[in-house]
Amino acid sequence: MNRSVYITDYALVTGLGCGVDTVWQRLLAGESSIRAVDHFNTTNYLAKSAALVPDLPHREGESRLYPLLEQLLEQLDCVPQDAQLITATTKGAIDLLERDCLEHGHVVEADAVVPSAMTHWLARQLDIDARGTNINAACASSTLAIGRAAAMIAHGAAEVVVVCCADIVSEFVLSGFSALQALSDQPSRPFDRDRNGLTLGEGAAAVVMMSDDAAQRYHRVKHAEVCGWGAANDANHITAPARDGCGLIQTVEQTLKRADVSADDVSAISAHGTGTVYNDMMELTAFKAIFGERLLPISSIKGALGHTLGAAGGIEAVLAIASLNDQLVPPTCGVVNPEELAIGQVSASAQPFNGELLLSTNSGFGGVNAALLIRRGQQ
């Protein structure tokens, strides 16, 4: 069994606002949400800014994660009660751990801190029967979650799967990336020769995925088709990617094979594009190996929305739908002097393309790589 898989509903919260239309238009305008961090002290860190969701309420005793998720769920139509649930987050309500350790010297609410707490909360809020599963695979988490959901539907293990992903900017995360010397003291510059690190971001995304039968039964619009997915690990280093891009190359080849298309059928790329020296070069090397001399439009949204960790792939998948509908890839904020392999492909302006298939890729610590191939759906 190999059934088609469709995205029938989606939602988005980023530093540029709530809702796909708002975020998409601000992205096309070249806006960035990176600003000074004001909800914890950054004095001891090189990076003092991040792409933050504006006016995110801070309620006493509660993680900032849940007001973020509330804004996300407000955008979703009713989800069928028999839907399966997959979530993706790398750190969940990590700010509760910070509070406990600073105030009490130990973890008080361990159950509230573990990432699965977000999964169980979402199941209750969505009023669905499934308890759900969380995928924590570094910065490829939500790409893998969408791929897993697609596989479940394609092979008859589910009719409807809702995927929700979210991560917040916390001192714990910022201090960790600072210790790795992975952060830039300025807004990140993906694929620029003078890039020197990433900028953290926070956000959330949700996609409701259905089989063709379920979409017809629930009278849902098929906004896009997830027609290919893949994953591979380069097993190179705990934080650094293989410089020859072998893991990403294998991932994309899997994705194309699963969709039964060739590299020539791909019209545009939504890249991971963190702005770190090695990640960006690895991606460009892999794309060159796969697509040869074709100059495909490539974009990274992380110069505008920051690196949203476990939410990155989900946010990028949702925005891929807008990209396919408008036949545009958004500007790559921060790129001024593109890497040689990026010339003619990465731009600080929106780039038009003509085609039905967009490739979205993500890579993460531990050598993980994941990709989705998304086909344009109904307007």
- The span from the CA of 165 to the CA of 144, in Å, is 11
Q: Do domains 5-217 and 228-376 have the same CATH topology?
A: yes
CATH number of 228-376: 3.40.47.10
CB environment 201-214: b (16+ within 10 A), e (fewer): bbbbbbbbbbbeeb
What pTM was estimated for this model as a whole?
A: 0.96
Q: What pLDDT score does 131 carry?
A: 82
H runs (alpha helix) in the chain: 20-28, 65-73, 94-104, 110-113, 116-126, 141-154, 171-179, 212-217, 246-259, 277-291, 302-305, 312-326
Domain range 5-217, its CATH number among 3.40.47.10, 3.20.20.70, 3.40.50.2300, 1.10.3470.10: 3.40.47.10
Is 85 in contact with 119 (CB distance < 8 Å)? yes
Q: Provide, for the chain, the percentages of residues in helix, strand and coil under a 3-state DSSP scheme, each rounded to the nearest 5.
A: 35, 25, 40
User: Are residues 314 and 89 in contact, defined by beta-carbon separation less than 8 angstroms?
Assistant: no
Residues sharing a CB contact under 8 Å with residue 102, sequence separation 6 or more, in sequence order: none
The amino acid at 316: E
Q: What is the pLDDT of residue 59?
A: 77
pLDDT of residue 103: 63
Integer CA distances (angstroms), 248 to 20, 29, 174, 256, in order: 28, 30, 26, 12
Question: 32-77: per-residue pLDDT in tens?
Answer: 999 999 999 999 998 999 999 998 887 777 899 999 999 999 999 8
What is the four-CA torsion angle of 271, 46, 367, 324, rounded to 10 degrees?
Answer: -10
Cα 103 to Cα 97: distance, rounded to the nearest angstrom: 10
- Residue 285: predicted pLDDT: 97
Boundaries of every domain in the chain: 5-217, 228-376
Separation between Cα atoms, residue 205 and residue 58, nearest integer Å: 20
pLDDT (tens, 9 = 90+) of the chain, 379 residues, equals 689 999 999 999 999 999 999 999 999 999 999 999 999 999 999 899 999 999 888 777 789 999 999 999 999 988 999 999 999 999 999 988 877 666 666 565 767 878 889 999 999 999 998 789 999 999 999 999 999 999 999 999 999 999 999 999 999 999 999 998 999 999 999 999 999 999 999 999 999 999 999 999 999 999 999 999 999 998 888 777 888 989 999 999 999 999 999 999 999 999 999 999 999 999 999 999 999 999 999 999 999 999 999 999 999 999 999 999 999 999 999 999 999 999 999 999 999 999 999 999 999 988 999 999 999 987 6
What's the pLDDT score for residue 99? 76
Cα(120)–Cα(257) distance, rounded to whole angstroms?
35
Selection from 252, 245, 250, 333 nearest residue 286 by Cα: 245
Pairing state between β 368-376 and 224-233: antiparallel
SS3 9: strand
Distance CA 102, CA 98 (A): 6
Helices then strands, each counted (H, E), the chain: 12, 15
All residues at 6 or more sequence positions from 266 whose CB lies less than 8 Å from its CB, including other chains: 256, 291, 296, 355, 357, 358, 359, 373
Q: Name the residue among 89, 2, 5 with its Cα closest to residue 372.
A: 5
Instruction: Give the three-class secondary structure for 265.
Output: helix
Contacts with 101 (C-beta within 8 Å, 6 or more apart), sequence order: 107
The tokens of 274 are what? 């963190």
Q: How far is CA 190 from CA 61, 229, 273, 280, 284, in A?
A: 37, 24, 5, 7, 11
CA separation for the pair 214, 354 (Å, rounded): 30
Q: Quick one: how far is CA 97 from the chain centroid? A: 24
CA nearest 364: which of 294, 295, 313? 313
Per-residue model confidence (pLDDT) at position 262: 97
